Amino acid sequence: MAERIVNGYKRLFEVRILHHYWLDDGSNLFDGLPENRKTQLLFSYDARTFLDVVPTTSTKNKLSAFGAVFKQSALGIVVAIPATTIVPDDLVLTFVITITDPAFYNYTALTFISHKIYELYYAAEDKIYRYKENVPVFSNLTGASRGAGPSRSLFLSKEIPAPAVDDKVEYLNSTGGALVQLTSSQPGAAIQTIHPIASTAPVFVHQNDTSYLLPPPGLTGAPGKGILLSNEIPDNVFGLINIAMKNPADPDFSCSSSGVAKQTGPVFQIRLKSRSAYWTYRNKNTGAPVSESSAPLPFTASGNAGVKRKPANPMIKVQFESGDPSKRIEKIYTEIFE
């Protein structure tokens, strides 16, 4: 009888990238919807329509060396590995997120942050360092969680921060136990409550997901927060995903146990918040203002957050203090002609 060899694969980990523009139902957060409605929305959801995720060249080589398989799916990315493969604890895999839908920057919160690229000559090494500011880095070593036990949700964003005096429009923070978002910049910022209990709300991508830079000694002019660009990380990078095999502080965030992939690999989440804006209505013939929503309303592909017609396309405008673009943002709005 011929010898039979079975070489099964296990899921090493999965990262689900969920954008609430496509998943919220009007002003109702996806997480609070009935299960049948969530299933319906997820069935039609495909993150590949607005972003791309690929492993860096070095990560691709590592995956190949371990016989692992990478796949981008409608929900995000999945990495599977042969069931008996030994996985080093110090293995880190890096993936690059780029945006493919130009409209993404209209319907996604926190896209007003500058992403300037810096090219700085470093005489000590006779080389040029290239940085891109305010690029988020998502990691299972610094992620936050919600819930407990089998229902525990693992997010790759850090914990939502407390308010700061220099917070900008669309920043998220935890105030009085609630998850709030600034609808104008400090000082004197207006806020809206996203969820009354921050500790049970999804951990959305926020301003503290960007990391402080440590340039080499003597190099001046580097941005305070951002990443170092390289041959593996392109200029159009939106964010990085770093997945370590082992999280010593929290086994739930680990991908392996005793050197092999867990029987059930972890499912991590990255949540992108839909942008909110004042809905300003104008006469379609004269352009004269008719009315405006009393508070910012979220853009969503499904449902309607207001009582009047929602924007057909989430095009936005910005109102600056004293009309000066160099000053603080007072309001984000969209115009609806009727």
**pLDDT tens for the 338 residues of the chain, in order:** 455 444 589 999 999 999 999 999 999 999 999 999 999 999 999 999 999 999 999 999 999 999 999 999 999 999 999 999 999 999 999 999 999 999 999 999 999 999 999 999 999 999 999 999 999 999 999 999 999 998 999 999 999 999 999 999 999 999 999 999 999 999 999 999 999 999 999 999 999 999 999 999 999 999 999 999 999 999 999 999 999 999 999 999 999 998 999 999 999 999 999 999 999 999 999 999 999 999 999 999 999 999 999 998 889 999 999 888 889 999 999 999 99
User: With contact defined as beta carbons under 8 Å apart, do 275 and 205 qualify?
Assistant: no
What whole-number distance in Å separates Cα of residue 338 and Cα of residue 336? 6
Buried b (16+ CB within 10 A) or exposed e, 32-61: ebeeeeeeebbeebebeebbebebbeebbe
Q: What is the pTM of this model?
A: 0.94
Question: Comparing C-alpha atoms, which of 330, 130, 48, 97 is closest to residue 209?
Answer: 97
